[in-house]
């Protein structure tokens, strides 16, 4: 028990877990504003009071980037919100993003001691609260740079893996340049996750904070075309490269009718909406063909974002078609709950067989069959098996497929000596090193589709490994190759 929290553990356990203030489902269907407003200060203080300040804070071990959760919660108790967010930023440079999109319920909160008998401490909501308080205060002082170093490091891709690695290396003192193929930085945080879960001004601020560490971000630069990895390591004068290009190439089911007008990959659909602002058509010149009835195939976060977006864009009936049961859905429980509140119709144990079109080659329906669960497959989940004679047609005019993605092969195909594995993922060792000296990789590119925080973890690990590589290898080469070209 600390001086700042006079309550006994038994008293803390009586306090209910605090919930966020949210927009009503009926209201939020007509806008793209954030669903959750987060915790009020009063609720955040009450929630922080629930923390048992464990001697062995198991929550820290549950966090992939080892945020010192107990300490930041104690700082909230002291009303030192600036200190709390600084504490988080010691190991997590994107607190406002992670407080919104991290699956805390499977990480720090699932192991929280309070959660053994009661609801766990709402760690994610507290993280978001202090990050938002800092934004409201409008004051931010970048952490100090350890020691200026002349070596340059190139980061390829500006998603959470790239931004984290950039921030870590910049804090260590390296000169860091991030190369991004799109016209704006952020990766999936910008083009995938919709505004109603992650407002763009929040993302922009987090990116500005990375830039405040003197990180340079060059957009519209496709590595593998504009310059190759070997050119970056050669004439461009970079000592090391971190590849964090994600897994942005969509997979399709391979069923008949996928070439009909009105069939999208979730990636294209969400990019049109989020990056090219289709939801503000005709102000933005990005049309989207959306009928009154839309079906999204898949059960993960991407499927959930696509179906909730379709509903907001005017689909009167929006179905989520998933071949397994609710227990196997990879999407966050909170997203499923929000989707149901918004009237999304979950069609579980249902698998599409073919998409049908009209005389203009536009989608007119999707033929599905019912499934039942058999024995576990290689993923450990029970294998869905078709039920004979169960076919039926779902009347839809739009079909959006969210059935997985794999890395874009440009870099792999233009970089000699870069070993790759299944579906083009770049192989890495335990410290994110690739088969090519000086080249490191992480995030979805090496995992083939994971989470924001795991991408950030890879970025941190890679930064430490790159630092060691430069200190132990590059600086000890007889002819220094790391001197900047400029």
Q: Provide the CA 188 distance to its chain's centre, in angstroms.
A: 6
Q: Kindly give, in sequence order, each residue whose CB lies less than 8 Å from that of residue 80, ignoring residues fewer than 6 positions away.
A: none
Q: How far is the CB of 340 from ligand FAD (least distance, A)?
A: 17
Two structure tokens written together for 24: 């009503």
Q: Does 63 bind ligand SF4 (CB under 6 A)?
A: no
Beta-strand pair 152-156/238-243: parallel
Q: How crowded is residue 116: how many other Cβ atoms within 10 Å of its Cβ? A: 8
Position of tokens 């500006």?
A: 158
CA distance 366 to 362: 12
CA pseudo-torsion sign 75, 15, 96, 280:
negative
Binding mask 217-256 for ligand FAD (x = CB under 6 A): -----xxx-------------------xxx-x--------
Bridge partners (DSSP) listed for residue 154: 177, 241
Examine residue 64 and tell whether it contacts ligand FAD (CB under 6 A). no
- 158 binds ligand FAD, rule: CB under 6 A: yes
In the bound state with ligand FAD, the residue whose beta carbon lies nearer, of 62 and 192, is: 192
Widest CA span in the chain: 74
Should residue 126 be labelled a site residue for ligand SF4 when binding is judged by CB under 6 A?
Answer: no
Pairing of strands 382-386, 363-376: antiparallel
What backbone phi and psi angles, to 5 degrees, belong to 177?
-120, 130
For ligand SF4, the closer of residues 62 and 384 by Cβ is 62
d(CA 188, CA 207): 13
The entry of ligand FAD, ligand SF4, none near residue 58 (CB within 5 to 8 angstroms by kind) is ligand SF4
The answer to whether 179 contacts ligand FAD (rule: CB under 6 A) is: yes
| Coil vs helix vs strand at 216 | strand
393-405 as b/e: b if 16+ CB within 10 A? ebebbbbbbbbbb
Query: Is residue 123 a contact residue for ligand SF4 (CB under 6 A)?
Result: yes
| Backbone phi, psi, residue 370, to 5° | -75, 150
161 binds ligand FAD (CB under 6 A): yes
The single residue among 29, 45, 46, 52 that binds ligand SF4, judged by CB under 6 A, is: 52
Residues that contact ligand FAD, how many (by CB under 6 A): 40
What's the helix, strand, coil split of the chain in %, to 5?
Answer: 35, 20, 45
Contacting residue, 192, 291, 352, 365, with ligand FAD by CB under 6 A: 192
Contact between 114 and ligand SF4 by CB under 6 A: the answer reads yes
Residue 348 interacts with ligand FAD (CB under 6 A): yes or no: no
| Residue 121 makes contact with ligand SF4 by CB under 6 A | yes
The answer to the question of residue 155 lying near ligand FAD (CB under 6 A) is: no
- Say if CB 402 and CB 297 are below 8 A apart: yes
Segment lying near ligand FAD (by CB under 6 A), choices 23-31, 124-132, 150-158, 251-259: 150-158
**Contact between 75 and ligand SF4 per CB under 6 A:** no
Q: Decide if residue 70 touches ligand SF4 (CB under 6 A).
A: yes
The strand pair at 36-38 and 363-376 is best described as unpaired
When the beta carbons of 223 and 296 are compared against ligand FAD, the nearer one is: 223
> Which of the choices ligand SF4, ligand FAD, none does residue 213 contact, using the CB cut-off of 5 to 8 A by kind?
none
Which residues contact ligand SF4 (rule: CB under 6 A)? 51-54, 57-59, 69-70, 73, 112-114, 121, 123
Which residues contact ligand FAD (rule: CB under 6 A)? 101-103, 156-162, 179-182, 187-188, 192-193, 222-224, 244-246, 248, 270, 301-302, 305, 408, 410-411, 443-445, 450-453, 455
């Amino acid at each position: 028990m600390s001086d700042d929290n006079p309550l006994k553990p038994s008293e803390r356990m009586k306090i209910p877990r605090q919930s966020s203030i949210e927009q009503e489902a009926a209201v939020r269907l007509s806008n793209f504003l954030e669903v959750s407003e987060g915790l009020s200060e009063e609720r955040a203080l009450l929630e922080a009071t629930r923390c048992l300040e464990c001697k062995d804070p198991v929550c820290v071990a549950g966090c992939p980037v080892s945020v010192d959760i107990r300490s930041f919660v104690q700082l909230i108790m002291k009303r030192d919100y600036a200190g709390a967010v600084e504490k988080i930023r010691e190991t997590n440079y994107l607190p406002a993003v992670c407080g919104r999109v991290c699956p805390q319920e499977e990480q720090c909160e699932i192991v929280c001691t309070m959660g053994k008998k009661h609801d766990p401490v709402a760690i994610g909501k507290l993280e978001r609260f202090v990050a938002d308080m800092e934004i409201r205060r409008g004051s931010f002082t970048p952490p100090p740079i350890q020691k200026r170093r002349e070596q340059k490091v190139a980061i390829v891709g500006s998603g959470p893996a790239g931004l984290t690695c950039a921030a870590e290396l910049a804090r260590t003192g390296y000169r860091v340049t991030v190369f991004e193929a799109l016209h704006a930085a952020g990766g999936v945080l910008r083009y995938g996750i919709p505004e109603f879960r992650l407002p763009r001004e929040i993302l922009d601020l987090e990116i500005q904070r990375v830039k405040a560490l003197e990180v340079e971000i060059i957009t519209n630069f496709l590595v593998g075309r504009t310059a190759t990895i070997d050119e970056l390591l050669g004439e461009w004068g970079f000592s090391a490269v971190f590849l964090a290009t994600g897994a942005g190439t969509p997979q399709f089911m391979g069923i008949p009718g996928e070439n009909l007008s009105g069939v999208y990959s979730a990636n294209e659909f969400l990019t049109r909406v989020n990056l090219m602002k289709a939801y503000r058509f005709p102000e933005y010149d990005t049309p989207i063909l959306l009928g009154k009835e839309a079906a999204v195939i898949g059960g993960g976060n991407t499927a959930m974002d696509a179906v909730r977006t379709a509903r907001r864009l005017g689909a009167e009936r929006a179905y989520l078609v998933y071949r397994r049961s609710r227990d196997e859905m990879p999407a966050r429980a909170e997203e499923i709950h929000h989707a149901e509140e918004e009237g999304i119709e979950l069609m579980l144990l249902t698998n599409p067989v073919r998409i049908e079109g009209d005389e203009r080659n536009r989608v007119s329906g999707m033929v599905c069959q019912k499934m039942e669960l058999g024995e576990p497959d290689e993923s450990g989940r029970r294998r869905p098996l078709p039920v004979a004679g169960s076919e039926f047609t779902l009347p839809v005019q739009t079909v959006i497929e969210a059935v997985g993605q794999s890395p874009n092969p440009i870099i792999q195909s233009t970089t000699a000596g870069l070993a790759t594995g299944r579906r083009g993922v770049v192989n890495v060792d335990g410290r994110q090193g690739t088969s090519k000296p000086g080249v490191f990789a992480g995030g979805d590119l090496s995992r083939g589709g994971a989470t924001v925080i795991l991408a950030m973890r890879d970025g941190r690990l890679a930064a430490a490994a790159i630092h060691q590589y430069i200190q132990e290898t590059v600086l000890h080469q007889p002819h220094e190759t790391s001197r900047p070209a400029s």
